[in-house]
Structure 1
């Protein structure tokens, strides 16, 4: 241990022999780091990996230069399937102590087995994709991918947890229990595993046994054919009986048994190797298929974007075509109106000019429009008023309002048209706009019968007139048109 001030070698004294700094606290911190490391090592040996990670993190918090604790933390991470976290710890350890560091060997083993490392990286990517499937409410795809992930990385505890959660959401508690028991075999005291198992027990009313069904209890000494058998846990120790000479028959029987045992051993060694090779090839094909599916999915997304862009372009073009057709129709109606106007057929010209939108015309066309409107405006206005009267009779107040507003925009406004517009709003139930037009009649045509009628309707609607138009002297004035009765008939 070195002094943190001058880096001199420390002795048993609580003070640095070189600079005299008090290093009692430093020694205590280093001792705590070693204590937590020993606790983490004990927990890792009994597969309490979660507890081991907690203790080793505390050890590194006390002394980040504790190479043994960092290397062991990497091994524990690797055992839980967290390969990236394990590599991070080993790389940090190697940078702190480049020479004689076991972490270099761990890193080299992973780098030499490129296929295994690629498979682990692929499994992590697929696990992240499974999380996206769950967020998008697509649990079926998530289950399929998680099974592939766990076949490639069977120690990934997070994968077992996510798959168990999906099964629990679907009510398949026994399948979820099976996945959580597999996770418990990797990490016996993982709090997430135990919490999920407790919830499953509450839902099913059945406890979960995490002990292996083949676990054997310690038994007393048994004697079979003169031999003594000691059984302790999973270990069986057989003490042979005292030596005695065997016959040729026994020798041949033992030879045959030896051959059978050898053949069985050969079978159990060769067949798993072939099975493993077949599984590796199948996993490789699954990975290739998944990659192709991902590529096709990306290509499909790109084509969908192009199709959406084309649809937007078509919509824009259609909108422009409709605008052009409307403008062209307006010009055609303007030409028809002009020809009828030149021929002296004002009624035909008025009908044609109604289909012209003056706002979309050019300066020259607007001049023609204004010239004709000065002559046939009264006819056009009369047409709008007639159409409004027909709409009022049929109860189509929106059409009546539209035609009356067009009539008001032609030439000078008159009280009759304004009153009819107010009546249309009133019968439609829009008393606010009706009262606005009633008030405008009262303001612009005071003392007329039309103003008096407007005031009466406005008061009936609950409105307050801005001025008094109901005295007897004002009623003797001349109106600009014939009054309209309450039924809307002239």
Structure 2
């Protein structure tokens, strides 16, 4: 166990041997984390996955660095069909402990089996599509799709819940009971499963036995005298041999009599009933075909609407997956930057934090981001400025503008970044923006060599700057005389 302040190893004392900080609360929190982890492990071993998830979340709340609890939580999520949640836990674990971590093996195993990962991903998309079918009242399509989902991803507990709910809605309680029993085999204490089972039991008046059947007799072998020897629990039961007819003639006679009686019963009882059923079925099909022909156009239109809604659901799910992947990448870079920052490698921390989009971070993540930026902001600013200067020397003015604009936006605007940004605009031929940034250098840093060079550029291009200003004034006058109906178009032109 290491101190959370200075990362020094702790001993039996209540204070850190290096920084002297009191670590009693930390030790208690880590002890509780270990206790909750052990409870979660016990629940996972007996298939109490919901209870295991609750305990493991509490364990990580006490100690986010508990790698074993995080890896086990990922395994439990994976066992319930939540592959995205499992990968998130394993990625965080991998970044916290890059060496000798079983989570690395889990991630590599999933990535190697690309077909299986794609199949699971498609099953999640189809499950979301089934939800849309249910909301739109298309229960039959949802039921067919859910059966395919569970065939490709048999551990998706949510799929069993949704299919059983459809069966309950259609009052097919025995089918719902079978789906819920299958879900209980995966997670026997899931509250949603138990709640739905209770509804089925109230409707049918029959309890559901979720425990395996004990005491079933198992045939071990057959004795020499024809007796059957069974094993029932810990007891061995010997059943005496039954009387068996040994005469071949009697066997043949019984077989012939059975065939004759069966043929007579088939002729006098079964054949007329089958004929009548065939005629009735044919009449019903004729009526059904007539109704289908009458409603075919309406059905096609409805199916087209469902296809459009399905495509929208697929696009939404894909965008959510891409956003989740981008957020995971941002957290990976943030954790990498934090690790380098803790070790004092500010340059590496700056390189990692440059790849983070702070808009995708939570409040806690933004706090860490701001802490790192306060320390490595100058280093990152200098890196962007040096890149911009190299791009100017290479003649790549667009890349130079992009890098120097980032340098200007970090912290306070400095003279060198603004001056080189103006040079990049000037090299590109954008006189208006170049003059604007040169003017900022003149206004904020008068008397410096950069300010004198900037003023020379402004004076040399004064005619072009004046011409651009007059064009803007003319355009603004034209905008003010336009009608209200064209205001949006005119505003878009002015911004450009």
Q: If you compute each CA radius of gyration, which structure gives the higher value, 1 or 2?
A: 1
Question: Could you say which structure has the greater relative contact order, defined with CA pairs below 8 angstroms and 6 or more residues apart?
Answer: 2
Where on the TM-score scale, by shorter chain, does this alignment land: which range?
0.3 to 0.5
TM-score (norm 1): 0.46
What TM-score results when the alignment is normalised by the length of structure 2? Answer: 0.45
Higher share of residues assigned helix: 2
